[in-house]
Structure 1
Amino acid sequence: MIATLNRLVEHIDENLTEELDIAELAGRLGTTEYHLRRMFSSLAGMPLSEYIRRRRMTVAAADVVGDEELLTIAVRYGYGSTEAFGRAFRAVHGIGPGEVRRSGGPLRSQPQLRFRLTVQGSTPMDTRIADRPAFRLIGHTARVPLIHAGVNPHIQAHILALPVTEHERLKALGDAEPSGILQVSADVDPDYTEGSELTYLHGVAVRGDTSVPDDLDTIHVPAGTWAVFRTCGAHPSALQETWAATATEWFPSNPWRLRPGPSIVAVLDRSPDFATATTELWLPVERDQQHAAARLP
């Protein structure tokens, strides 16, 4: 995966003035757009689309300080008007192209990224691979913003709004793995952009033939393979650290890649105040046939 990401950033720099088809490029690199975007954002700390915009505006700055018409420059970098180009330019540099042309700056630079895998072994990962038939996730859903670190107050408010008796009812309904009360994130932005909206479900897993009460929301999950990561410790920090380590350590070192689908956290045990917990993180995966190396033809 590290080689794939480095070839990706090389291709981006070689084609900054061209329209980039990330899905087609991912296929040529032997992976999927979904996995490529998720791994890039996890390791780079920014969405792939944001990195492309920053690199384009970094290189475009050299053109802006020259004498060429701004509309010509805008079109070269894929913008249909000087206004659209100016907004993108200002978002990166904090100053418009006209001001840069008059004063020369200040300008902000986005260097070309290089990915490296540092094997430290500092994060032991208790992992298993599970093949599951189709099942359903049932419970109560809400649209919430994605927050990378710390407690998500929107999810917390959603859970607290449920009566205590509802948690017991949900537990009684669950009859499939993952077991127990589940925290489900679905419809997540492939770039994993912080602040983007996702569907959060608080509920349980049931078999395909289980009768479901009409007042509960349902997410249908097709048959597939899952990587299951067990965590134990301070909550939610231990879980979030493991989640981050899947991108930095586990996926680059194992022949699996993410596939579209919900991510699921099963709470197996917890302290009364939820300060500590034992959880399982379920991520939908598929075998990566190009794990050893990936090269553009």
Structure 2
Amino acid sequence: MISALNQLVDLVEWHLAEEPDVDGLAASLGTTEYHLRRMFSSLAGMPLSEYVRRRRMTVAAAAVVRGEEDLLSIAVRHGYGSGEAFGRAFRAVHGAGPGDVRRDGGPLRTQPQLRFRLTVEGTHPMDTRLADRPAFRLAGHAARVPLIHQGVNPHIQQHIAALPQEEHLRLKALSDTEPRGLLQVSDGVDPDAREGSELTYLHGVALARDTPVPDGLDTIEVPAGMWAVFRISGPYPQALQTTWAATATEWFPSNPWRLRPGPSIVAFLERADDVSTATCELWLPVEPA
């Protein structure tokens, strides 16, 4: 995976003026665009699309400062159809327009070329199992919420708090297959995992495929497949978010599996009354790499 990510960085560098063919690269490496983008965003701390934009504007800024070409020529050479579109992108990265930077020499915010390297991690074993599950469905109450990488997501908190206590109990009683109990489900996540991008959050339970779904509940159909299940104990949500990051830095690079499209699921096994600590399982859909 480290080699694949570095080849992706090289692909971006060779095609800064156009959209890189991530799908073609992934296919040539025997992986998928979905997995490559998710691993990039997890390890780089930014979506691939944001990295491409920053690198493009870093290289463009050098041409702007040199002053050897007019600004429209620089815009076109870097993949923009108009000076206005180029100016907006330039200002978003550098905080100033290209004309101002040409006159004043700055400000400039440089994005260095990334290089991924293997470091020694994994001093703490990850408690993981693989589960081959038939098709099932998730049923509960869904809402569209923004993705937040660190800390408590207030939009999810508000969604759960709006449900009466008896509804939590009713949902829990419906659960009849793994993952058991009340679940926190994230579906439709942007492959780049851009913070602020919208996803579908569902508070509910897993039902066998032939179990009738009561009226008034939203559903997500989940096809048959393999799941990597990570058991986590500690402060919530910090321990869960740390494990999420470790799947990218430690588990996937060390195991012959890759992410496949599908919902990620958190199943609570135990938790404090104020949910400050919890023991839970993180279910991620995977396939052989």
Same fold (TM over 0.5): yes
Read off the aligned partner of 1:168 and give its amino acid letter.
L
Partner of 2:19: 19
Distance 2:242 2:18 in 1: 37
Read off the aligned partner of 2:209 and give its amino acid letter.
G
- Correspondence list, 1:236-275, <5 A: 236-275=237-276
CA displacement at 1:5 relative to structure 2:
0.3
Could you tell me the TM-score, scaled by structure 2's length? Answer: 0.97
Can you give the 5+ residue segments of structure 2 that lack an aligned partner in the other structure?
A: none
Distance 1:235 1:176 in 2: 25
Partner of 2:175: 174
Read off the aligned partner of 1:173 and give its amino acid letter.
L
CA displacement at 1:67 relative to structure 2:
2.9
Distance 1:276 1:122 in 2: 23
Report the 3-state secondary structure (helix = DSSP H, G, I; strand = E; otherwise coil) of the residue aligned with 2:247: helix
Distance 1:271 1:17 in 2: 52
CA displacement at 1:19 relative to structure 2:
3.3
Instruction: Kindly report structure 1 stretches of 4+ aligned residues shifted beyond 6 Å.
Output: none
Report the 3-state secondary structure (helix = DSSP H, G, I; strand = E; otherwise coil) of the residue aligned with 1:219: strand
CA displacement at 1:172 relative to structure 2:
1.1
Partner of 1:109: 110
Distance 1:59 1:29 in 2: 28
Partner of 1:38: 38
- Correspondence list, 1:225-244, <5 A: 225-244=226-245
- Correspondence list, 1:133-152, <5 A: 133-152=134-153
Q: Alignment length, in residue pairs? A: 288
Partner of 1:55: 55
8 Å CA contact retained: 1:256, 1:287: yes
Can you give the 5+ residue segments of structure 1 that lack an aligned partner in the other structure?
A: 289-297
Percent identity for Structure 1 against Structure 2: 76
8 Å CA contact retained: 1:117, 1:248: no
Distance 2:151 2:18 in 1: 39
Larger relative contact order (Cα-Cα within 8 Å, sequence gap ≥ 6): 1
- What are the Cα deviations for residues 189-248 of structure 1, in whole angstroms up to 9, with x where unaligned? 111111111100000000110011120000000001100000011111111111110011
Could you tell me the TM-score, scaled by structure 1's length? Answer: 0.95
8 Å CA contact retained: 1:119, 1:249: no
Report the 3-state secondary structure (helix = DSSP H, G, I; strand = E; otherwise coil) of the residue aligned with 2:211: coil
Distance 1:124 1:91 in 2: 41
- Correspondence list, 1:147-158, <5 A: 147-158=148-159
8 Å CA contact retained: 2:268, 2:279: yes
Read off the aligned partner of 2:252 and give its amino acid letter.
F
Distance 2:84 2:121 in 1: 47
- Correspondence list, 1:69-88, <5 A: 69-88=70-89
